[in-house]
Structure 1
Amino acid sequence: MSEPNLIMKSIRLMQFLYNKKIPLLPKIVQWFIRITCSADIPVNISIGKGTVLKHNGLGVVFHEKALIGSNVTIMQNVTLGGRNGRGAPVIGDNVFIGTGACVLGGIIIGKDAMIGANAVVINDVPDKAVVGGIPAKIIRIDDR
């Protein structure tokens, strides 16, 4: 696996400072991320190990209660957000989220799933499924 990029190092630093309850510094790192990458990533976000934000997370927006698993690949301009008070998404391990995708509400994205570019996901996605469209529909489920 390649070296973590600047945004992931910044997020890990922000999480470390937040968990150690060091005042002000997590917010400074958050603003650094916002200015340098145009990304809105809350200080208390939960991101698993091995997760990669491609293109330095350009334009990504994450809900503060979103849970992101391990080894997830997130392309640019992805939104993991709420939906009229219906919670935040939970992303499983080894998921790929394509450019411009919106994953909205308290839904669960299963392990090894793939979300196509510009998809709007408002329903749960099973393990190993490929989804796309507006609203996203299951295109296929890999049985490998």
Structure 2
Amino acid sequence: MAFQTMRDDFARHNGEGASFVALTVYRFGRWALQRKSRLSRAIFTRIYRVLNSYVKNIIKIDIPATVQIGEGLHLIHGYAYITIHPDVVIGERCGIMHGVTIGQNMWSGVATIGDDVFIGVGAAILGEVTIGDRARIGANAVVTRNVPADTIVQSPQSRYMPSLTAMAAKVSEKAAEAAKRD
């Protein structure tokens, strides 16, 4: 486990506890899986599972030790509901905000994310897709197709609907008209 990497993680997260703890537990898990001795791998993997259970259930960040992450990952406001599939590959210097899911889309594979990618609040990247370098995935975007490098993906603009009372009044008017015709 490279202590320099953990120092970099701490500096990148400005001492923000949840993000730093989640990444430290992830890095410990990666380190444990790479032990050559079966005994040490078994012992450290059990310790990792206990720590990771805390991170998943209390901090609400799920980054399995099998995820491949490049240097410089930044969990921006990383205190809630980040879920990453165990087979995902994430490039270097990526930023992930809270509420993000990177996972499978039913039966297909998982995402490969390039370098310098930003993933906004509530985004979902589903299935076997490639996110190109320097792409920006906007808040609440759902990505199910490949994203070329240097591309911005944003969710559709919100639609404004009439108020519930106005809708109820229209329904009542239509019901009254229908009753008069009958």
TM-score (norm 1): 0.86
> Is 1:84 matched up with 2:106?
yes
SS at match of 1:42: coil
Shift of 1:26: 2.1
Give % identity: 31
> Is 1:19 matched up with 2:34?
yes
State the alpha-carbon separation in 1 of the partners of residues 93 and 23 from structure 2: 12
Match of 1:41 in 2: 63
Is 1:8–1:52's contact at 8 Å kept on the other side of the alignment? no
Q: 1:57 to 1:18 in 2, by over 3 A?
A: farther
SS at match of 1:84: coil
TM-superposition CA deviations, 1:20-72 (whole Å, max 9, x none): 23331221121121133112222211111101111235200111111111100
Residues 27-66 of structure 1 correspond to what in structure 2 (within 5 A)?
27-66=49-88
Name whichever structure is richer in helix by fraction: 2
Stretches (4+) displaced over 4 A: none
Is 1:66–1:90's contact at 8 Å kept on the other side of the alignment? yes
Name whichever structure is richer in strand by fraction: 1
Name which of 96, 101, 111 aligns with 2:118. 96
Match of 1:141 in 2: none
Is 1:15–1:26's contact at 8 Å kept on the other side of the alignment? no
Match of 1:138 in 2: none
Higher gyration radius (CA) = 2
Is 2:141–2:155's contact at 8 Å kept on the other side of the alignment? yes
Structure 1 gap segments, 5+ residues each: 135-144
State the alpha-carbon separation in 2 of the partners of residues 52 and 85 from structure 1: 29
Aligned-residue Cα RMSD (Å) equals 1.6
